[in-house]
Structure 1
Amino acid sequence: MSGLRRGFMKNWFAVEALPIYAVVGIVVAGGSWYLTRLARGPTIVWTKENPTPWNDIKPNEGTKLVTVNQHFDKGLIFGAAAFSAQYNEDTHLASDVPVRTVRAALRYGINAFDTSAYYGPSEIVLGKALRAVQSEFPRQSYLLVNAPNFFSSMEGPILMISQMTKCGRYGLNQSDFDYSPATIRRSVERSLKRLYDTDILEDGQYLDVVYLHDIEFVCEQVQPPDAHYHALALTPEKAAEYGLAESDKARIRGPGDQVILDAVAELQKLKSEGKVRNIGITGYPLHTLLRVAILVHHKLRQPLDVVLSYSHLNIQNDTFGHFLPEFKAESRANVAQVIAASPLNMGLLTPRVFPWHPAPDELKALAQNAIALSAQNGDGSSIVDVALGYSYRRSREMGVPMVVGLSQLHEVHQTVKAWRRSVLEDIVRESFGSFKDWSWASP
C-alpha cells in the first residue's frame, strides 16, 4: 500500500479526497432529485412538442414491464370513469399516471375503453393518453371493430382499439339529463373531438359504441315500490308489475319512454352517417334496461346493439345472469352484446368506500365484514382479489365482457393477474380432455 493511500485512509479530510467527495455529492443529490420527481409525478402538458411524458419508456429501449401486444382474451374493458374527480384528485389526473396506466393496459392487450361525457375530464384525459402513446400504438394501426357483436368477433393478437362513450347525462341532478336529439348529436360530436384529441373532425373518425347514459332517470318508472331483488321481475307472478309481460313489448308508458325512443332514433341516424358504429343503453336496474330494450326492439323495429348494466355481476350481487337470456332472446330484446361493469361494486368491495356510494349503511357494514373475512384467510388475499376473481370467473362462464375501473398501474397489474387466474382454471380443466368429469371404478 502506497504512503499516499495510507495517509488518505488515516485522514478522511485529506485534500486529495475532496474531488471524490464532490463527485459523490453530485451523484447523491441528482439521485435524490430524480427519485423525488418520480415519486411526486410531474404535471404533464401534452403538446405537439411534448407528446409523451418526460419519463416515457420507448418500446425499443428493451425495458418493458409487460409483454406488448400479446394474445389476450377480449373480455376486459378499461373503465375510464376513474379518470374523474369522483375517484381521483385533479393532481392525479394532470400527472403522468393516466398515460402510464393506459399504456400498461394496451401492452397487456386490453384495448377497449369505456368513458362518458358525465365523467368530467375522463374523455379528455383518455383521448390525450391515447395520443401520448401513439408512438407505440399509432392511431393509423387501430382497427376499430364495426361488427355489431364486436367482442365475439375479435380474434388473435391484432391490435384493435375500441372507444366507447355515453351521452345524455351531464351532471348529478335530474335537470342535468338532456336526451333531446340536438343535444345527443352535439354530445357525440364533442366526444369524437375529445377522444381523437382534435379540434377538427376528419372523415372516417367514429366511435365504436355510444350509449344513452342511465336511462332509468329519464324513462317511465314501472316497478313496485320495494324492488330490491330484480330477479323477481322475471317471474310470471311479477312480470306485469315491471312492464315485462308479453303484452307490454311495444307499450309506451308515458313521455319519458318517448324521449328514450327519440334519442335512440337520433343515435340510429348518427350510426347511418358513420359517426357511430354501435348504439345502446346503460343503467343500474336490470328490469328497466330490459323493458326499454324490448320496447326499442318492437317499437322501432331495430334492436339495440349493446346494453350495459353495472354492479350486478359481483360477489355481493350476481343477478346479471338471470337477465342475460332475456336480453339475448330474439322474441324479447334481441340485443347482440350485453356487458357487465363494476366487479368491485362501485368501490363497495374495497377498503375505501366513497361517501357518495348509494348502498345503505347496513350493506356497507356487511362489506366491511367481508373485507375482514378476506384478510383472515392468511394467504395475503384481499377483498379486491376475491371479488375480482369471482366476477371474472362468472363473466367468462357467461361470455360477457366486464368493464373494470382503472386509474393506477397497480390496478392494471392486479386485474390482469385475477383475469389470467380465471383463464388458467379453464385451460387446466380442458387439459384433461376425455377424462374431464370421468370417474374411476370403486370398488
Structure 2
Amino acid sequence: MKVTSIAAAPTRRLFSIAALGAAGALALSGCGSSGTSSTPAPAPAQESKNLAEGGSSTITLWADNARVKVLKDVAAKFQAETGIEVKLVGKDTVREDFITQVPTGRGPDLIVGAHDWLGQLVQNGVVAPVELGDKGKLFEDSAMKAMTYKGSVYGVPFAIENIGLVRNTALASEPAETFDEVIANGKKAVAEGRASYPFLVGLDPKQGDPYHLYPLQTSFGAPVFGTGEDGGYDASKLTLANAGGIEFAKKLKAWGDTGEKILNSNITADIAKEKFLKGESPYLLTGPWNVPDFQKAGINVAIDPLPTAGSEPAQPFIGVNGFFISSKSQNSLAATEFAVNYLTTESVQDALFSSGGRPPALKASFEKAATDPVVAAFGKIGANGVPMPALPEMDAVWADWGGTELALIKGQGDPEAAWKTMADNIQKKIAK
C-alpha cells in the first residue's frame, strides 16, 4: 500500500476545501454552456432486486457535515426504490482516512472530495473509475476534464469553483482590466479617505497563498507545470521558475510589506474578509463562498474578471467537487447505481448548489443557478481557468512555493535567487 504524505492544503480549501492530473492545463470550455439535456431518471425499479441479491444491503458515503444533510433526501429515495440503505457519515478528514482505511476493508463505498485528490487516490489504489456513458455529456466540459486522470473518469462531479475579483461598487464604480488599474483605483480610494486598504487578499502567516495569487502568476506566463502530449499536466516539466516566474517574484516583493503594501503579510483570509465587510477596501480576491455574507451586510458587490498583471491572461485554478467510489467496495454495484443514476440528477445537483453556493457541474442546474449574476460571473471567470493539478507531485510543491511567496512579500531576499532556489528544492523533492 502506497501512502503519500498529505501536504498542508492551500488556503482556498474551505470546502474540503481545503482548496477541485486533471486532463488539461488548457483553457476550459465555458461554465455557461448553451443547450440543456434532460436529466435521466433513476434506474428502473426492477434492477433493485439484483442489487439486493448481490448482497449490497448497505452502502456508506463519507462527506462533510453540510453535504450529509443535503444528501439525506436522495439517500431515502434510493432506499425506497432499491431497498439499499445509504449510511451518510460526516467526517473532517475524508481523504486521509479514505487512503488509510480502504486497503484494510474498513473504508466507505463512496466519498465526497475534490478532483485534485485524484492523483493521490489513484496512486494508492483506493478509487475506482466510473463509467458515466452519455451522462458525461450532461456535465460541463471543465468538470469532466477535471475528473479525468490519465485517460479515465474517476468521479461524478457536482460543483465547480474558482476565485474572482470581488469589488465594492461604492468604492470603485467601474471594473478594472489590469492589476495596475486595480492598484491605482484602490490607492485613490485610500487617498480620499474612503478606504484603508487599496486591495485585499488573505495570506496564510506561514504558507502565503499560491492558490489565490495564481492568476497574477499565470498572467506573467508562469504556470506551475507544463503539459505532456496528452494535454495533461506533466510533473517533469516544472515551469515555476521560467522568465515569467522570475518577473512575478520581483513583483511580489514590489507589492509587499516593504514596497507598495498592496499585499500584506499580516492579513489572513479571515482578516481580509472582515475588513472588506467593514468597507475598508474596494477589492477582495476571493471565491463565491464569501459573497453571501457581503450581500447580507448590505454591500453592493460586483464580480469582476481577474485583472491581468502581465501580458498573458490571468488564469485561476478551478476546483471540482465530486463523488468517488472505493476500489475495494464490497457493494460496488449499489455504489455505482447510486452515483451514476441518483447523484447525477438535477434535483440532487440543485440541492447541493443551494447548500454550498458553488456553480453546479450539471449543465441544466448551472443554467438555472446562473440567473444569479454572481454565479454567472464566477462561471465566466472559471471558463478561462485551469484545473488544479491532481498530480501526486503537487504535495511536493505547496510548502516551498507558498513559503517563498510569503518571504518575498515580507521583503526578504533577492526575488530571482529565492525563486530559483524554490524551484530547485521542489524539483529535488519531485525526483525522490
Question: Which structure is richer in relative contact order (CA contacts within 8 A, separation 6 or more)?
Answer: 2
Q: Settle same-fold status: TM greater than 0.5.
A: no
Specify which structure has the higher proportion of strand.
2
TM-score by length of 2: 0.24
Larger radius of gyration: 1
